[in-house]
A and B are shown apart, each in its own frame.
Chain A
Amino acid sequence: MADRVCVQINSEIDIVTARQKGRDKAQQLGFSSTELTLIATAISEVVRNIVEYARRGELCVGIVQQGDKRGIVVVAQDSGPGIPDINLAMQDGYSTGKSLGLGLPGAKRLMDEFEIVSEVGKGTKVTMKKWVQKNVR
């Protein structure tokens, strides 16, 4: 991941920092203001998941190139308790915490690509991508 920026997540205060860093990176890539908000909101949701369930972790944002597509890649990683049933966690309205249960499925809807890998007792890694839309002219 070229040009990568990472934020250590230790408390809820870092949620604001993480989404600001993500927004800055997305802005450099030329995303529209609506897309910047979608990306910042998706980051907010996955980082809050870290704070709520794993307590600490790391959020990294970088640039990704695939063929002639350019985009932002967001990686949220923790060494927390892990998610026993990912399909269940990806369902709208499912939550074992105090949230609305829209965090992970919501973040997936806001981004173009979403991948989650989790192992109980080891941790969780969420990788999300959004591609810059080419100007249609």
Chain B
Amino acid sequence: MLVPILKQGDYLIASIQSELSDADLLKLRDDLVRRVSEFRSRGVIVDVTVLDVMDSFATRTLRSMAHMIMLRGAETVIVGIQPEVAFSMVQLGLRLEGVTTALDLEEGLSLLDHKIKGDNGLG
């Protein structure tokens, strides 16, 4: 299942549309890291709202993706982790160390604005 990646100014937005296989997740990671360079993006948002399972593989892949993007000089924000998924990740012992998360797309965008453009959100 292909994850569409939208370019919005300095940002890339990847909005996951359905459950992803391991191969799909790895492809998303590779695509995003490549496009950050291609578009000279400053920030990336990955929307995981539709994922009803984030197991050790998904967590590890998202974490490595965020680190790779960071090495390219851009910021990553994971948005939309469902409460049930958050509960399950903690029980499982999974951490997204060093990865920024936000409630939803809107919060993620304002977080990126704040980090990258120094916008305090007050206009």
Beyond A23-B52, A48-B57: 19 further Cβ-contacts under 8 Å?
A: A12-B23, A15-B21, A19-B53, A37-B84, A37-B85, A37-B87, A37-B88, A38-B87, A40-B52, A45-B92, A99-B56, A99-B57, A100-B56, A100-B94, A105-B93, A107-B92, A109-B92, A110-B88, A110-B92
Residue-wise interface mask of A (15-36) relative to B, using a CB-CB cutoff of 8 A (1 in contact, 0 not)? 1100110010000000001101
- CA of A45 to CA of B20 in the docked complex: distance in angstroms? 15
List 8 interface pairs A-B (beta carbons < 8 Å), by A numbering.
Answer: A13-B23, A23-B52, A41-B54, A48-B56, A48-B57, A102-B92, A106-B91, A107-B92
Nearest first, the 4 A-B pairs at minimum CB distance are A37-B84, A106-B92, A44-B55, A12-B22
In this complex, how many residues of chain B approach chain A with their Cβ under 8 Å: the count is 23
- Which residues of A are found within 8 Å of B19, using beta-carbon distances? 16, 20
Q: Contact size class for A?
A: 20 to 34
- Which residues of A are found within 8 Å of B87, using beta-carbon distances? 34, 37-38
Q: Is A103 an interface residue (CB 8 A)?
A: yes
Task: Give min CB distance, A2 to chain B, whole Å.
Answer: 26
- CA of A103 to CA of B84 in the docked complex: distance in angstroms? 18
Contact A33 B84 (CB under 8 A): yes
Contact A13 B92 (CB under 8 A): no
Residue-wise interface mask of A (66-97) relative to B, using a CB-CB cutoff of 8 A (1 in contact, 0 not)? 00000000000000000000000000100000
Task: Give min CB distance, A70 to chain B, whole Å.
Answer: 21
Chain B residues within 8 Å of A, Cβ to Cβ? 19-23, 52-57, 59-60, 82-85, 87-88, 91-94
- Which residues of B are found within 8 Å of A36, using beta-carbon distances? 52, 84
| Chain B residue nearest in CB terms to A13 | B21
Contact A41 B53 (CB under 8 A): yes
Task: Give min CB distance, B80 to chain A, whole Å.
Answer: 14
Contact B21 A41 (CB under 8 A): no
- CA of A15 to CA of B88 in the docked complex: distance in angstroms? 17
The answer to whether residues A12 and B92 also contact, given A19-B53, A34-B84 and a CB cut-off of 8 A, is no
- CA of A110 to CA of B54 in the docked complex: distance in angstroms? 13
Contact B56 A103 (CB under 8 A): yes
Task: Give min CB distance, B49 to chain A, whole Å.
Answer: 14
- Which residues of B are found within 8 Å of A34, using beta-carbon distances? 83-84, 87-88
Contact B52 A102 (CB under 8 A): no
- Which residues of B are found within 8 Å of A19, using beta-carbon distances? 53
- Which residues of A are found within 8 Å of B54, using beta-carbon distances? 41
- CA of A23 to CA of B19 in the docked complex: distance in angstroms? 13
